Structure 1
Amino acid sequence: MDTIIAEATRGDRVESRHAGSAVVVDAAGRVVFALGDAERPTYPRSAVKSFLALPLVESGAAARLGLGDEELALACASHTGEPAHVAAASRMLARAGRDAACLECGVHWPVDDGAARALAGTGRGPSALHNNCSGKHAGFICLACDQGQDSTGYIHPEHPIMREVTAALADVTGAPHGPDNRGIDGCSIPTYAIPLRALAHGFARFGSGVGLGAERARAAARLRAAVAAAPFMVGGTNRFDTVLMQALGPAVFSKMGAEGIMAAALPEQGLGIAVKCHDGAPRAAEVAMAALLIRFLGPENRDNMVLAGLTRHSMRNWNGMIVGEVRAAFA
């Protein structure tokens, strides 16, 4: 039977309910909390971008190319296509001697409405730099160029860069990543269905360094520090990950994925959290994640007003009237 993780109200009634699964795992792989089926294979989608960025850092490529906090945070990002994001992606490519023509992520309008309207007002259309995954893809190109490889076709499973970053995924999560569980993500790179428990375990290891080699653990710490220093780059205006990490800093490393995926690392507690809303609704995954963070963070963070606010989303109609809310469905 499906477990309800979030509900939407209208007036004094529950109007809709979202089923899903959630799991909290420590760095040793022990499940300390679970709702629903934690072993159900799930595509993590963009939640694992930080894992994909590990080879960029641990190889020394990021340092040799002079990539700073903003660029490394963008390599982990699902950004909104605002000017700062576009500029950082362009800088990454320039450091590798490349430009937007090398990106193979596809083109879409900025996710942020204001950025999209501003761009349209110039009479120009979007480029691949506006794609929410352009930072991740720029990171792949930087890694390829640093290794002296041709980046063309880097999105394909057999490309050396994609093999390298896929191996990092398998190492951090402890789950197999092969043809049998492979799909294609929205930005055209492979995505692999793994148990939700494995995703949470990967975040526990990414946050603590436990179970990772020394170089990989240092790379994970560098990426966490970059995102804590530049949380706007990993999301954007009013995005859950950005708002959360602006409020809590290095206490939480959070990353959303498409189709109702949320994952987070709690470095001080050595825990990883993963949430999947089965109908793909991000609103449900976000409030469920916020509720779990309140439960498992240390007492110095539990009373954070921003975090508390993320557990409930007011719903307004077109006249701005509050008509209901979306809230976590478990204590």
Structure 2
Amino acid sequence: MESAIAEIERGGRVESRHAGTAVVVDAAGKVVFSLGDIDRPTYPRSAVKAFLALPLVESGAAGRLGLEDEELALACASHTGEAAHVAVAARMLARTGHDAACLECGTHWPVDADAAHALARAGGAPSALHNNCSGKHAGFVCLACDQDQKLGGYIHPDHPVMREVTAALADVTGAAHGPDNMGIDGCSIPTYAIPLRALAHGFARFGTGHGLGPERARAAARLRAAVAAAPFMVGGTGRFDSVLMQEMGPAVFSKMGAEGIMAASLPDQGLGIAVKCHDGAPRAAEVAMAALLMRFLGPDARDNPVLRGLAQHDLRNWNGMTVGRVRAAGPMHPDHRP
């Protein structure tokens, strides 16, 4: 029987449960907590965007182009398409002499409802800049231009930029990335199925630099610092990653991925965490991640009101009435005792 990582309560009863897998690993690869089959390959999706941004920094391209904290944070982002996100993505492209026409991520309306409504009221239409992955793709464009690579087709696995960022993924996670475990992500670049254990190990290494080369370790530290300085860029209004990192600063680097993936680095503790909700529900992965952070960040974290609010929060109906709650469950709960 699969283990629950989150449950939904209504009227004093458990209405539904979300099953999942979770693992906490140190930088040496030692598992310090696990739930479920942590060696089952799964697609990390957008959780690894910061790993994909490593070559942009370690190559020197980010420095030569003058990319600052907001721009580097956006390169790691799954953003909501708010005005600030769009402006920063456009600024990144402008540093290379290009605009949204060069992006190959596709177009969708802003994820943030207020931003979408404002755009529609103004008679506007979405562009690739509004795509939640536009910052990551702008980073690819910056790297390609700095290296004098052709831009067209940068999303394909055989493009020099994609080969370089895929090699970074394999190096940080220690897992193979090739045709046999490749799928296509929502923004059209490759995504690779790897064990959840390897994802957590990669986040431990990203957070500490242990096991990475000197340049890669410095690039990881630079990206973490950029995100800590500009956490809004990584998500947006009300998004888990932004809310968490606005509260915790450099103590946590957190990144969600589609289909119920959450991953985080705890640099001071030397740990990496990865969570997968099997039915793809982000609400379950988020409360489970918050609960694990409360447990592994130390005793003060248990009383942090933001973390507690992320690990258990109310459900409200369309009239604003509180009708239930979402909470971490079973071994995931920060107060669980085996």
TM range (shorter): over 0.9
Percent of pairs identical after alignment? 82
In the TM superposition, residue 298 of structure 1 has moved relative to its aligned partner by: 2.6
Cα deviations by residue, 1:58-98 (Å, 9 ceiling, x for unpaired): 00000000000000000000000000000000000000111
Aligned to 1:114: 114
Match of 1:77 in 2: 77
In the alignment, what sits opposite 2:97? 97
The worse-fitting range, judged by mean Cα deviation, of 309-318 and 245-254 is: 309-318
Kindly indicate whether the alpha-carbon contact (under 8 Å) linking 1:23 and 1:197 is maintained by their aligned counterparts in 2: yes
What residue in structure 2 maps to residue 239 of structure 1? 239
Once the two structures are TM-superposed, the CA of residue 304 in structure 1 deviates from its matched residue by 1.4
**Alpha-carbon displacement from aligned partner over 1:150-209 (angstroms, at most 9, x marks no partner):** 111000000000000000000000000000000000000000000000000000000000
Aligned residue in 1 for 2:86: 86
Whether contact under 8 Å (2:6, 2:326) holds in the other structure is yes
- Could you say which residue in structure 2 is the equivalent of 1:328? 328
CA–CA distance in 1 between the matches of 2:96 and 2:239? 29
1:176 matched to which residue of 2? 176
CA contact (8 A) 1:259 1:279 kept: yes
Report the equivalent of 2:136. Answer: 136
Q: Residue in 1 aligned with 2:126? A: 126
Count of equivalent residues: 331
SS of residue paired to 2:262: strand
For the residues of structure 1 that align with 2:300 and 2:22, how far apart are their CA atoms? 24
Q: Secondary structure at the match of 1:126?
A: coil
**How far off is 1:313 after superposition?**
2.0
Q: What CA distance in whole angstroms lies between the structure 1 residues aligned with 2:4 and 2:70?
A: 37
Report what 1:307 is aligned to.
Answer: 307
Aligned-residue offset at 1:286: 0.2
Counterpart residue type for residue 35 of structure 2: L
Q: State the match for 1:290 in structure 2.
A: 290
Matches of 1:208 and 1:286, distance apart in 2: 23
Task: Specify the code of the residue in structure 2 equivalent to 1:152.
Answer: G
**2:22 aligned with 1:15:** no
Q: Does 1:273 align with 2:273?
A: yes
1:226 corresponds to 2:226: yes
In the other structure, the counterpart of 1:211 is 211
Segments of structure 1 that go 5 or more residues without pairing to the other structure are: none
TM-score normalized by structure 1?
0.99
User: Partners in 2 of 1:310 and 1:217 — Cα distance?
Assistant: 30
1:308 is displaced (CA, Å) by: 1.1
Asked if 2 retains the 8 angstrom alpha-carbon contact of 1:248 and 1:301, the reply is no
Instruction: Determine the structure 1 residue equivalent to 2:333.
Output: none
CA distance in 2: counterparts of 1:162 and 1:131, whole angstroms = 19
Q: CA RMSD in A?
A: 0.6
CA shift for structure 1 position 318? 1.1
Which of structure 1's runs of 4+ aligned residues deviate more than 2 A?
A: 298-303
